[in-house]
Amino acid sequence: MKKISCLLTLVLMLVPVAQLAAQTQKNAESAKKNIARLGVGKKAKTTITLNDRSKVKGYVYSVGDDDFVVRDSKTDSPTTVRYADVLSVNDRSSKDLLIGFGAAAAGAAILILVVTRGAALRPH
pLDDT for 60 equals 94
Q: Is the pTM of this model over 0.85?
A: no
pLDDT for 5 equals 60
CA–CA separation, 56 vs 108, rounded Å?
36
pLDDT for 1 equals 64
pLDDT for 29 equals 84
Give CATH for domain 2-91.
2.30.30.100
User: Average pLDDT per run of 10 along the chain, which is 124 residues long?
Assistant: 59 51 68 90 92 94 94 93 91 61 69 67 60
DSSP assignment, residue 114? H
Q: Which amino acid is at 1?
A: M
pLDDT for 45 equals 92
CA–CA separation, 77 vs 48, rounded Å?
15
